[in-house]
Amino acid sequence: MDSIAHGPVGSWTMSRRDCDGGAEKSVPDLLAHDLRVLFVGINPSNCSGAAGLHFASPGNRFWPTLHRAGFTDRQLRPDERAELLVRGIGISNLVNRATARADHIQLDELRAGAERLRRTILAKHPQTIAVLGKGAYRTAFDDSMAEFGRQPFDISGAPVWVLPNPSGLNAHYTVERLAERYRAFREELNDR
């Protein structure tokens, strides 16, 4: 895609027209066997669908949050996603259909996404799961009382965590607050 600009480390830009072209597309999971952690987003944005890359929207804070939380030694760009595999980190989505907003996803899609995630976990055996979005988690796993943090159950032996969604549309969290939550999660992983 020639209109996707790759600037200095940490920058990533796409034109609005490029993003609009990503609606309804999917983004391949970033997986390997025995990952240290599998981050699970709600669904790809239109920008991610257009680029075929996770968390590609210019306003998404996933990449700066990972860096500030200590998961990466520098801020990666979406096109550097393979660097995560080297660190034992993978990415998937509950629903793999790009939309402009996560609230365009149907409730039954989220529930089906939980089943797809369970199959992925059985096949790939990640050590820990981190679902990014409390509301989506509550719907997908039929747990209306779930809060952020470690959940009281595992999936195939993998502990499940819920972390805030890094979408730029999540106005409740700044990058700094996101990084605090993700850092606490990383520190828990290191203690295991």
pLDDT (tens digit, 9 = 90+) per residue, 58-109? 889 999 999 999 999 999 999 999 999 999 999 999 999 999 888 899 999 9
pLDDT (tens digit, 9 = 90+) per residue, 138-169? 999 999 999 999 999 999 999 999 999 998 88
Residue tagged 């402009």 (tokens):
100
The domain spanning residue 186 has which CATH number?
3.40.470.10
Asked if residue 97 is part of any domain, the answer here is: yes
Asked if residue 33 is part of any domain, the answer here is: yes
pLDDT on residue 11 = 52
**Overall number of domains in the chain:** 1
pLDDT on residue 12 = 58
Asked if residue 21 is part of any domain, the answer here is: yes
- Which residue range is the domain that position 23 belongs to? 16-191
Asked if residue 6 is part of any domain, the answer here is: no
Q: Indicate if the pLDDT at residue 4 is higher than 60.
A: no
pLDDT on residue 31 = 98
- pTM for the full predicted model: 0.92
Asked if residue 2 is part of any domain, the answer here is: no
* Residue partners of 191: CB distance under 8 A and separation at least 6: none
Helix then strand then coil, in percent of the chain rounded to 5, is 35, 15, 45
Mean pLDDT of 184-191: 92
Asked if residue 90 is part of any domain, the answer here is: yes
pLDDT on residue 18 = 77
pLDDT (tens digit, 9 = 90+) per residue, 12-60? 577 777 788 899 999 999 999 999 999 999 999 999 999 999 999 988 9
Q: Indicate if the pLDDT at residue 8 is higher than 50.
A: no
Interatomic CA distance for residues 150 and 33, integer angstroms: 22
Interatomic CA distance for residues 36 and 129, integer angstroms: 9
Asked if residue 3 is part of any domain, the answer here is: no
pLDDT on residue 10 = 45
Mean pLDDT of 179-191: 94
Asked if residue 37 is part of any domain, the answer here is: yes
Q: Indicate if the pLDDT at residue 7 is higher than 70.
A: no
